[in-house]
Structure 1
Amino acid sequence: MLHYIYDGSFDGLLTSIYEAYYRREDIEDIVPKDSMEENFLVQKVFISTDGEKSRKVYEAIENKISEEALKRVFYAYLSELPGHGITILKYLQLGFKFGPQVDLNLSNDIILKMDNINYKVGMEKHRMLGLIRFKQLENGILYSSVEPDYNIVGLLAPHFASRMRNENWAIHDVKRGIGVLYNKKEWVIKDIEVTDSLMIKEDEEEYQELWKAYFKSIAIQSRINPKLQKRNMPMRYWKHLVEK
């Protein structure tokens, strides 16, 4: 069994795709180094990220398949699901063969799998846009902590950069130790490590209590449906919601 090991970046993944195409080796998976497991049956080939090779693959996907295919590949990468690397490679092999029509072939297992991954990542992005709760810190920054299943904080940034363009804010993925930081001009994704307790602005707790009271007051007791609520707003997100 042959595994390509890359540094975990999107450029690293695309470089691995490039090498797989030109080396024509029979590889079983493309794995980020942080997810690499020791297995004496596996032959590991470490792929060094190359910006030029990555760019060529990026442009080839965009021009020879479609922009939608490029988005699908990126969403599959963000899913971090086991086997996503080899799934992307097989998808692109089909894409370079069939072109823009590749996504219409839903009878193909790889296309169906990519479609399912994209649905899950897209659905969590959509759901998370409504579940982000900011609290104001003493330094004036609006801060939100999240723990999404998939690596989607970068997908959330454009929405909040548009809606909250005159604020300084941060969305912190505490599970992955990364976050989106916005400074009223642009947003960036960086590693974030919170070592001390965050200093909440003095009147922030009062606003949170008002929000809880409002949330409770608008609830119609006769129409409360816990099962429906858990389906639309899974319990794994509740720890970061003020109202819960």
Structure 2
Amino acid sequence: MLQYIYDGSFDGLLTAIYEAYYRREIPDDILSEDNPQQNLFIKKVHIETDLEKAKRVYNSIKAKISDFALQNCFYVFLSEDEYRGTVIYNYLRLGWKIGKDIDLNLSNDAVLLVNNISQKVRKEVHRMLGLIRFSQLSNGVYYSQIEPDNNIIGLIAPHFEDRMPDEYWIVHDVKRELAVMYNKKEWVVRDLNVLEEISFIDEEEEYQRLWKEYFNSIAIENKINPRLQKQHMPVRYWKHLVEKQKDC
């Protein structure tokens, strides 16, 4: 059994796919180095990330398959699925044979799997945009905490860049200790581990109380449907929702 091990980055994964092609090998798995499989019968090949090789694979996907296929691959990568590297590799091998029509072949297991995973990531991005709640810090920056299932923090940033172009803001993925930060000009993703208590403006507690009152006042008691609410706003997200904190 042959495994390629890459550094966990998207460029690292594309490099591994490049090496598989030019070495004329078909690895059984392409795994991130933080996901080692312990087996005496596995031959492990560690792939060093090469940005030029990664770029060639990136451009090849766009030119020979499609932009949508490239987006699918990136979304699967962000899913953090244990076998995402293998899933993407199998999908691309078929894509380079079929071309732009690959995603019409949903009867193929490799294509169906990629489409299912990428769709879950897309749905969480859409859902999260409606669930993010900002609070204002004492320094004037608007701050929000999230814990998404997928590593989507970079996918939600453009939305808030459009909606809040004249504010300083941070969306903090506390699960992964990552944050997207916006300075009124551009946004960047950085590591962020908050070790001390966050300081909010004095009025923030009153703002949150008013929001809770508004949320409760617009609810029509005889039409409240907890099951439907949990479908659209799963309980696992409630921890960071101002209006639901008292219920968690």
TM range (shorter): over 0.9
Is 1:138 the equivalent of 2:138? yes
Tell me, in whole angstroms, the C-alpha distance in 1 between the residues paired with 2:234 and 2:40.
Answer: 39
1:200 — aligned with what?
200
TM-score (norm 2): 0.96
Partner residue of 1:63? 63
- Segment of structure 1 superposing worse, 24-33 or 63-72: 24-33
Deviates more, 1:26-35 or 1:95-104: 26-35
User: In the TM superposition, what is the alpha-carbon distance from 1:23 to its structure 2 partner?
Assistant: 1.3
Distance 1:203 1:39 in 2: 57
Please, what is the CA RMSD of the aligned residues?
0.9
What's the counterpart of residue 29 of structure 1? 29
The number of aligned residues is 244
Any gaps of 5 or more consecutive residues in structure 2? none
Structure 1 position 191 matched with structure 2 position 191? yes
Which residue is equivalent to 1:94?
94
SS at match of 2:99: helix
- Find the residue that maps to 1:197 and give its secondary structure: coil
Deviation string, structure 1 residues 150-205 (Cα, Å, up to 9, x no partner) = 00000000000111010111111111111101100000111111010111111111
* Partner SS for 2:243: coil
Superposed counterparts of 1:34-183, under 5 Å:
34-183=34-183
3-12 vs 181-190, which moves further: 3-12
AA partner of residue 210 (structure 1): L
Equivalent residue, structure 2, for 1:237: 237
Which amino acid in the other structure matches residue 15 of structure 1? T
Q: Shift in Å at residue 30 of structure 1?
A: 1.2
TM-score (normalised: structure 1) = 0.98
Structure 1: tracts of 5 or more residues without a match: none
Work out the percentage of aligned pairs sharing the same amino acid.
Answer: 59
Paired residue type of 1:26: I
